[in-house]
């Protein structure tokens, strides 16, 4: 099945602590951009919601929406999702954000500041909660550990999230972030492993779209 309207998120959110500092992660957004590129190749209209992604990674032909923080990502994804057939939540949204302080923190202060955190909104769960009929939603999980541990964590995460398709990949020790290649393990909403794909991030993105189409047709 080819989707007509696709929304993809990419990149890593940066959660401000003060005017200068932020809490972030190592995601470059390459995998999300390659999902968008693969969707364009099928003829879909693609909206790419990006969190701190270099312009060179963004494929030509997509509508680009900026969403640098978790709160921005929640708002922009909700707005873009309304008319989408397929939503791919690939961005690495921070699980926590600093409780912001006013003014600039300085190293010359008499005391060392304490970083206090609060939870960010779960964008994927929000999209699933407010989905419209006929919409297919794909989530991502970046997990650490051995391959066996990643697959088991992925199965549990798929059951917890309830996305139509959950793609998990191993990160750390040279895997995942900033690499040109990736290995994805795919799980459906029942925790069943639907396969895996290894290759360039464009190649695994094409497998992702194929599986999403198969799941969409089975609804």
What residues act catalytically? 25
208 with 165: CB under 8 angstroms? yes
List all residues 6 or more positions away from 215 whose beta carbon is below 8 Å from its beta carbon.
136, 164, 165, 188, 194
Most distant CA pair in the chain, distance: 62
Q: How distant, in Å, are the alpha carbons of 24, 67, 152, 168, 217 from that of 78? A: 22, 12, 30, 23, 24
Pairing mode, if any, of strands 86-89 and 136-143? parallel
Cα–Cα dist 84/146, whole Å: 35
Provide the token pair at 100.
Answer: 């912001």
User: 56 exposed, middle or buried (CB, 10 Å; 0-12, 13-18, 19+)?
Assistant: exposed
């Amino acid at each position: 099945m080819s989707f007509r309207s696709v929304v993809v998120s990419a990149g890593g959110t940066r959660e401000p602590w003060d005017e200068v500092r932020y809490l972030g992660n190592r995601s470059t957004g390459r995998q999300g951009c390659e999902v968008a590129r693969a969707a364009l190749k099928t003829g879909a209209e693609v909206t790419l919601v990006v969190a701190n992604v270099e312009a060179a990674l963004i494929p030509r032909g997509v509508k680009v929406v900026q969403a640098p923080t978790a709160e921005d990502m929640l708002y922009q994804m909700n707005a873009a999702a309304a008319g989408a057939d397929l939503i791919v939540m690939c961005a690495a949204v921070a699980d926590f954000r600093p409780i912001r302080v006013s003014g600039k923190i300085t190293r010359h202060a008499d005391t060392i500041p304490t970083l206090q955190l609060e939870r960010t909104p779960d964008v994927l769960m929000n999209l699933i909660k407010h989905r419209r009929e006929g919409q297919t939603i794909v989530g991502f999980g970046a997990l650490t550990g051995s391959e066996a541990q990643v697959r088991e964590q992925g199965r549990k995460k798929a059951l917890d999230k309830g996305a139509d398709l959950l793609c998990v990949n191993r990160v750390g020790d040279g895997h995942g972030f900033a690499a040109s290649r990736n290995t994805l393990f795919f799980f459906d909403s029942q925790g069943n492993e639907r396969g895996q794909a290894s290759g360039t991030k464009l190649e695994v993105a094409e497998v992702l779209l194929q599986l999403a189409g198969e799941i969409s047709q089975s609804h």
